[in-house]
Amino acid sequence: MFEFRSWAGSDRDGNPYVTPEVTANTLERQREVVLEKYREQLKRLSGVLSQDGSRIDTGGEFEASLEDDRERLPGSARMAEERYPDEPYRQKLKLMRERLARVGDVRPGGYDDVDELLDDLAVIAQSLRNNVAENVVEAHVDPIRRQVATFGFSLASLDLREHQQRHTDAIAEALESEGINYYDLSEEERVEFLTDAVLQDESVLDLGETDGLTDDSARVLELFDSLADWQTEYGVEAIDTYCISMTEEPSHVLEVLFLADQAGVVSLPEHAGIDIVPLLETEYALSGARRIMGTLFKNEAYGQALEARGRTQEIMLGYSDSNKENGFLAANWSLYKNQRRLGGICDDYDVQMRLFHGRGGSISRGGGPMNEALLALPNNTITGQVKFTEQGEAIAEKYGNPRIAERNIEQMLNAQLRARKQTINQPEEEIPAEWIDAMETMADAARREYRNLLESDGFVRYFEQATPITVIEDLNLGSRPASRSGERSVEDLRAIPWVFSWTQSRCILPGWYAVATGIDAYLDDGGSMDILREMYDEWPFFRTTLDNAALSLSRTDLEIAAQYADIADPDLRERFFSRVTAEYERALELITEIGRRDELHPRDWLGENLERRNPYVDPLNVLQVYLLDQTHRTDLEERTLRLTVKGIAAGMKNTG
């Protein structure tokens, strides 16, 4: 029902230190951890199953299984019989622990795969049931079986990720020695070349030959060369997904298929060892979803790969960059529309879609209450499978306490089941045309206002002066540099430091800015407040979007933000902070009016939470502003400034 995956140690996008060696070490360490956990669980189970073999009939299947282990591990079997005479269950568990210890070992007798361990546990469970010990099975054996079925021998399967440009460069450089100028090929020519190369029997590239390539390109080829070995050593399920950042063309997906084919991870039409997942995060990619996915679904090589993977296509949606590019309201509307579009495209080609929601911890990066987010998804995207990220401080906050973790997982399951039932009853929801027209008007106006703010002369300087971005850039944290190329521009800055900076200054602009402008544009165009209230009451998407904006507005503190604005150049402060303040105040008015409530957010606990939190966080903000305003800081002041960042992040429960 649940599957856990990770890209810690396998996400290369923007991080040159995630090398194939790091990925190999991650796979090995994860296997060590989970196998040791299983051995501990079996040891505890051995303390429970102390039955005397002379007084029970363990059954023929159990006896045959135990005899197989004795033949497989004769030395360990003798020790088990000496240690546990006439205790068949304990003997079996002792040998199972030994087999776990030999997984990946040079010594023979280890489990070949997780199914063998599950079979052994099933044999024990059935034997106990035959001896009227159902309660023992439910209390002690079944929990281990569920753990093994969930975590396998890999603990969490790894998703590889890399930026599409790295694949293009690696292929172009490698093909140059073959007399092919890949860079000069048009998109159609690239698709044709890659398709033919995958379908032909002969390899085009020797992935082990990296002489003359740049370091980045050599690492790409080394990765794919290692991938086949990893799947052999750890099992295909341990590392079977490849995500492509900034996918904008069909060739970006086919490049990964081509490299996997050259590595032997893909051998069509019989075998495809990876799911290839395009990450659609720019407006160009999202609006071109049919062009990208339709081309792939019609492509002969990719079609064969899709068949080999059960005709399930995973597509990742990037919340972070789309928000930074278009603003909160426009990004949410674009994502909603394009999810519906992707669902329709997959239905047209009889492909089951699995959406991978690249949610961050903050509202502006797709965060917010998971239950509500799942219920607000378009019906035609709820296929029974869904995947999403939990990042950074959200992991500790949601899963650090077992009871909170259980509650969080229950809420996700509840939402998914309810949403799936709704989809079965109504495969595609009927959205009134006037609602769609209203959203188009609001999103267009909000995007223009947001882009106008970002592109205003002096805004980047204001951002530098009125937030601690210059400090955050130099912090020794995060998995990648703060900007993609080191240039000073909003476009070049990565989404996390962008949101982190505004959160530190308590402005949280990415989570609500231009919502009011959008709503006002609709009302000025003849729209009705009654229609907006109707949309809020009856359309989960619109209600969740406004509630998330309200959540960001509730956490915003303009009195504190004003102190940050005061250290900016006076003319910049006057131009930008007054503009932000006006937008904030109007958003408060409109959202409370639409929701027909006095408080900005309907959750009572939020106000209490903020009242408890602010007295502790506010002084840190005041200290941070003071230190940011110093032209020359001592070493002690520099360390203190970094500590304020850490303290504010802890208090806000958010980095970005």
Q: Tell me the pLDDT tens digit for each residue of 520-562.
A: 999 999 999 999 999 999 999 999 999 999 999 989 999 999 9
> Which residue stretches of 575-603 are H helix?
578-595
pLDDT at 371: 74
Q: Which two tokens stand for residue 265?
A: 């991870």
Distances (CA, A) of 33 to 2, 44, 506, 526: 19, 17, 40, 62
pLDDT at 357: 84
The domain limits of the chain are 5-15+156-425, 29-151, 438-652
pLDDT at 656: 54
Rounded CA separation 450/60 (Å): 72
pLDDT at 566: 95
pLDDT at 578: 95
Rounded CA separation 515/445 (Å): 9
Please say whether the beta carbons of 315 and 278 come within 8 A: yes
Least confident of 95-104, 414-423, 439-448: 414-423
Which residue do the tokens 């090398």 mark? Answer: 19
DSSP sequence for 406-434: HHHHHHHHHHHHHHHHHHHH-SS----HH
Mean pLDDT of 48-72: 94
> Rounded mean pLDDT of the chain?
91
Rounded CA separation 497/482 (Å): 6
What SS3 string covers 92-142? HHHHHHHHHHCCCCCCCCCCCCHHHHHHHHHHHHHHHHHCCCHHHHHHHHH
Q: Tell me the pLDDT tens digit for each residue of 584-636.
A: 999 999 999 999 988 877 666 677 777 888 888 899 999 999 999 988 899 99
pTM reported for the whole predicted model: 0.87
Rounded CA separation 17/11 (Å): 10
Rounded CA separation 384/255 (Å): 29
CATH class entry, domain 29-151: mainly alpha
Distances (CA, A) of 9 to 13, 39, 157, 602: 11, 25, 11, 40
Distances (CA, A) of 223 to 26, 124, 215, 261, 264: 14, 41, 12, 13, 13
Sign, CA dihedral 66-71-75-81, equals: positive
Q: Which two tokens stand for residue 224?
A: 């794919």
Mean pLDDT of 254-273: 96
pLDDT at 261: 97
Q: Which residues, 6+ apart, have CB-to-CB distance to 515 below 8 Å?
A: 328, 329, 446, 546, 549, 587, 590, 591
Share of the chain above pLDDT 70, in %: 94
Residue 486 — pLDDT band, cuts 50, 70, 90?
low
pLDDT at 482: 47
pLDDT at 651: 83
**Residue 481 preceded by cis peptide, ω within 30:** no
pLDDT at 399: 85
Q: Residue 144 is which amino acid?
A: I
Is the pLDDT assigned to residue 463 strictly greater than 70?
yes
Distances (CA, A) of 310 to 304, 339, 416, 628: 10, 21, 22, 55
Give me the sheet containing 157-163, strands edge to edge.
5-6, 157-163, 241-245, 275-280, 312-318, 352-358, 386-388
Rounded CA separation 650/652 (Å): 6
Mean pLDDT of 58-75: 96
pLDDT at 377: 85
CATH number at 5-15+156-425: 3.20.20
Mean pLDDT of 431-442: 96
Q: Tell me the pLDDT tens digit for each residue of 146-196.
A: 999 999 999 999 999 999 999 999 999 999 988 999 999 999 999 999 999
Is the pLDDT assigned to residue 71 strictly greater than 50?
yes
Is the pLDDT assigned to residue 125 strictly greater than 60?
yes
Mean pLDDT of 416-436: 89
Q: Which two tokens stand for residue 246?
A: 């900034």
| 546: Cα separation from own chain's centroid | 23
Q: Tell me the pLDDT tens digit for each residue of 195-245.
A: 999 999 999 999 999 999 999 999 999 999 999 999 999 999 999 999 999
Q: Tell me the pLDDT tens digit for each residue of 360-384.
A: 666 655 566 777 778 888 888 888 8
Rounded CA separation 92/70 (Å): 9
Rounded CA separation 613/648 (Å): 10
Q: Which two tokens stand for residue 249?
A: 């063309």
Least confident of 61-75, 303-317, 323-337: 323-337
Rounded CA separation 196/258 (Å): 10
Rounded CA separation 486/195 (Å): 36
